[in-house]
C-alpha cells in the first residue's frame, strides 16, 4: 500500500471514530464549549511553548503560564499576523522538518504534478491561502488534525449521510472547487472520499461547459461548489443545459449572499446550505435556507474585534476575527488575525456555538479619500440585475470598472448607472463607472477562487 493510500485509510477510520463524539458536541451549551476551549488552550500553549521558539518568547513576554492559562488570559497574548508568521515560519512550527523551504518545495511539487494529494515528512498535508491581499500563507497540518478541520466544517452533513446508510464507497457527491490539493477543499475531498461520500471533483477554473459535463457525469445526490459557480450552474439548469437533480446543494469558501442563495434554490428546487472554512482552521456551517453560520468554536476560539483590536459590542460588525486553533499543533495559531468581517447573531436556543454572518473581507472595503464604501453597497447594486451571473469590481481613482458575465439580457449602461448611483449615495463625488461584458472572470490558478471586489493598492 502506498503512503497516500495508507494515510487515506487511516484518515477514513479516524473520521468515523471521531464522528460519534462530534454528534454529541453539536448540542453543547456555552458552558460546555468554554470548558473544552480552556482545556484545549492549555494543551496548545504548552505544546507551542515547548516546541516553538517564536511562540515561547511571546508567551513568556505576556507572563502567561500554559499550565494554568484560562480564557481570560488569552487577550494578554499579542495578535499574530500572516506576514510575521511567514517571516518567522521555521520558528513558528513545532516540527523541525516543516521548514519554510520544505513546505514551499512541497507545494511546488504538488502543483507540478497536477495537484494531487501528497504528504510532507510522511504525515503532514500542506495547504496554501490564495494571498489575494498580497501575502500568501502556508499551513501545515498533521493528517489526524485535518480530520478535526473536516468535522468542524462538515459534521452535520456527515452525520446526515451516516444516518441515511451510505452505499459502499459513499453517496455520489460532486465538488466544484480548487484545481489543486494545495487548497483545503480539494485536499479534504481527496483525503476523505470513500468514507460516507464518493467525491467527484471538478475545477472551478475549467470552462463552464466542462464543469457542467463533470457534474452531470457524477449524477450526484449532493453538490458543493463555490457560490459564484453555483449561480452559473443554476442558470445552466434553468436553461435546460444541466441535467442534475441533487437532493442537497451547498455553497463553500466564498460569500453566499441572499440573492445568490435564492437563485440557486429556485433552479435546483432545494434550499442551499452554506459551509464556511478557512485554511487556518476555522470552520462552520449554516443549515439549508438559514443565514447564520454556526462556527465550530469547540475547536477554534474566536474573538471578534474592531480595526484597533478591541472587542465589538453586540450588533456591531467586526473588522477582524482573531482565532486560536486548538486542533493544529504542528503550526500553532494563537490569536491569528483573519480579515473576514463577521456580525454575531443572538445565541441559538439549542446550542452555545458562536453564530455569525460573514459580511466579506476587510481588504474589500474601498476608500475614496475620506469616504469608505462597504462591499455590500456594490453587491446590492449588482444584485438588482438578474442578467448578471458573475462580476468583478475594480476600484479606480474616481469610481470603478466592472466586468460582468451575462446570464441573459444585460445592458451595460443600466448596470453602470446603478453602480454609480450606489457609489454616489455612499458619498463618492461624481463617480465614474465603466462596465464590460466578458465570458468569464479570471480565477486564481491554485484555489479556483475569483476576487469579486478589488480595491486600488
Is 426:377 a contact under the CB 8 Å cutoff?
yes
**How confident is the model at residue 382, as a pLDDT?**
84
Q: Which of 1-10, 178-187, 356-365, 390-399 has the highest mean pLDDT?
A: 390-399
Complete DSSP assignment for 305-354: E-TTSPBPPTTS--SEEEEEESS--SS--SSEEE-EEEEEPPPPTT----
Q: Distance of CA 211 to CAs 152, 216, 223, Å? A: 27, 9, 12
Closest to 153 in 3D by CA, of 261, 7, 300: 300
* Residue 186, φ and ψ in degrees, nearest 5: -75, -40
Residues 414-457 pLDDT 10s = 999 999 999 999 899 999 999 999 988 888 776 777 788 888 87
Report the C-alpha gap between 327 and 152 in whole angstroms. 10
Task: Tell me the C-alpha distance between 78 and 345, whole Å.
Answer: 27
pLDDT of residue 131: 52
DSSP helix/strand/coil, 249: strand
Which residues face 303 on adjacent strands?
Answer: 322
3-class SS of residue 453: strand
Instruction: Please count the other Cβ atoms lying within 10 Å of the Cβ belonging to residue 169.
Output: 12
DSSP annotation of 363 reads: G
The tens digit of pLDDT for each residue in 149-196 reads 889 888 988 898 888 888 988 999 999 988 887 888 888 888 888 889
Q: Bridge partners of 391?
A: 404
**48-85 per-position pLDDT tens digit:** 999 999 999 999 999 999 999 999 999 999 999 999 99
Cell matching residue 406: 451575462
Indicate the helix (H) or strand (E) that contains 395.
strand 388-395
Residue range 193-221: mean pLDDT, rounded: 93
Residue 385: per-residue pLDDT: 85
Report d(CA 446, CA 122) in Å as an integer: 23
Confidence grade of residue 136 (pLDDT, cut at 50, 70, 90):
confident
- Is residue 115 over pLDDT 70? no
Over 70: is that where the pLDDT of 362 sits?
Answer: no
Residue 1 reports pLDDT greater than 60: no
Helix (H, G, I), strand (E, B) or coil at 408: coil
Q: Give the chain's domains with CATH numbers.
A: 3-142 (no CATH), 143-294+348-356 (3.40.50.12780), 365-454 (3.30.300.30)
Write out pLDDT tens, residues 91-111: 999 999 999 999 999 988 887
User: Do residues 178 and 152 lie in contact, with contact meaning Cβ atoms separated by under 8 Å?
Assistant: no
Cα–Cα distances in angstroms (integers) from residue 73 to residues 42, 46, 226, 280, 297, in the given order: 11, 14, 38, 22, 17
93 contacts 52 by C-beta, under 8 angstroms: yes
Amino acid at each position: 500500500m502506498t503512503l497516500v493510500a495508507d494515510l487515506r485509510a487511516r484518515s477514513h477510520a479516524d473520521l468515523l471514530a471521531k464522528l460519534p463524539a462530534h454528534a454529541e458536541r453539536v448540542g453543547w451549551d456555552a458552558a460546555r464549549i468554554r470548558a473544552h476551549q480552556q482545556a484545549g488552550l492549555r494543551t496548545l500553549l504548552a505544546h507551542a511553548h515547548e516546541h516553538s521558539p517564536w511562540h515561547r518568547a511571546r508567551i513568556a513576554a505576556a507572563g502567561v503560564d500554559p499550565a494554568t492559562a484560562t480564557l481570560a488570559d488569552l487577550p494578554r497574548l499579542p495578535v499574530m499576523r500572516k506576514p510575521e508568521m511567514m517571516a518567522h515560519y521555521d520558528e513558528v512550527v513545532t516540527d523541525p522538518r516543516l521548514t519554510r523551504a520544505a513546505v514551499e518545495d512541497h507545494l511546488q511539487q504538488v502543483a507540478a504534478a497536477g495537484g494531487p494529494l501528497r504528504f510532507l515528512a510522511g504525515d503532514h498535508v500542506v495547504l496554501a491561502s490564495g494571498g489575494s491581499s498580497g501575502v500568501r500563507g502556508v499551513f501545515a497540518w498533521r493528517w489526524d488534525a485535518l480530520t478535526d478541520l473536516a468535522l468542524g466544517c462538515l459534521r452535520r452533513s456527515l452525520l446526515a449521510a451516516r444516518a441515511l446508510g451510505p452505499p459502499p464507497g459513499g453517496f455520489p457527491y460532486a465538488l466544484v472547487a480548487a484545481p489543486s490539493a494545495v487548497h483545503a477543499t480539494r485536499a479534504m475531498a481527496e483525503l476523505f472520499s470513500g468514507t460516507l461520500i464518493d467525491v467527484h471533483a471538478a475545477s472551478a477554473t475549467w470552462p463552464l461547459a466542462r464543469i457542467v459535463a463533470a457534474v452531470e457525469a457524477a449524477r450526484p445526490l449532493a453538490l458543493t461548489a463555490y457560490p459564484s459557480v453555483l449561480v452559473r450552474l443554476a442558470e445552466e439548469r434553468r436553461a435546460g443545459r444541466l441535467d442534475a437533480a441533487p437532493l442537497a446543494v451547498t455553497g463553500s469558501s466564498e460569500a453566499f449572499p441572499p440573492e445568490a442563495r435564492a437563485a440557486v434554490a429556485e433552479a435546483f428546487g432545494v434550499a442551499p446550505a452554506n459551509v464556511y472554512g478557512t485554511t487556518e482552521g476555522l470552520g462552520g456551517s449554516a443549515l439549508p435556507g438559514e443565514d447564520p453560520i454556526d462556527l465550530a468554536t469547540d475547536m477554534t476560539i474566536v474573538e471578534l474585534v474592531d480595526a484597533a483590536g478591541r472587542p465589538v459590542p453586540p450588533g456591531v460588525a467586526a473588522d477582524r476575527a482573531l482565532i486560536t486553533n486548538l486542533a493544529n499543533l504542528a503550526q500553532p495559531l494563537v490569536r491569528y488575525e483573519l480579515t473576514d468581517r463577521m456580525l454575531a447573531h443572538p445565541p441559538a436556543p439549542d446550542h452555545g456555538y458562536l453564530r455569525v454572518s460573514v459580511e466579506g473581507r476587510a481588504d474589500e472595503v474601498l476608500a475614496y479619500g475620506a469616504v469608505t464604501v462597504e462591499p455590500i453597497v456594490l453587491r446590492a447594486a449588482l444584485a438588482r440585475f438578474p442578467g448578471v451571473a458573475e462580476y468583478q469590481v475594480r476600484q479606480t481613482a474616481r469610481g470603478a470598472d466592472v466586468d460582468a458575465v451575462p446570464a441573459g439580457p444585460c445592458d451595460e449602461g443600466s448596470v453602470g448607472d446603478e453602480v454609480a448611483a450606489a457609489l454616489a449615495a455612499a458619498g463618492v463625488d461624481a463617480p465614474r463607472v465603466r462596465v464590460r461584458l466578458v465570458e468569464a472572470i479570471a480565477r486564481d490558478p491554485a484555489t479556483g477562487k475569483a476576487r469579486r471586489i478589488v480595491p486600488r493598492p
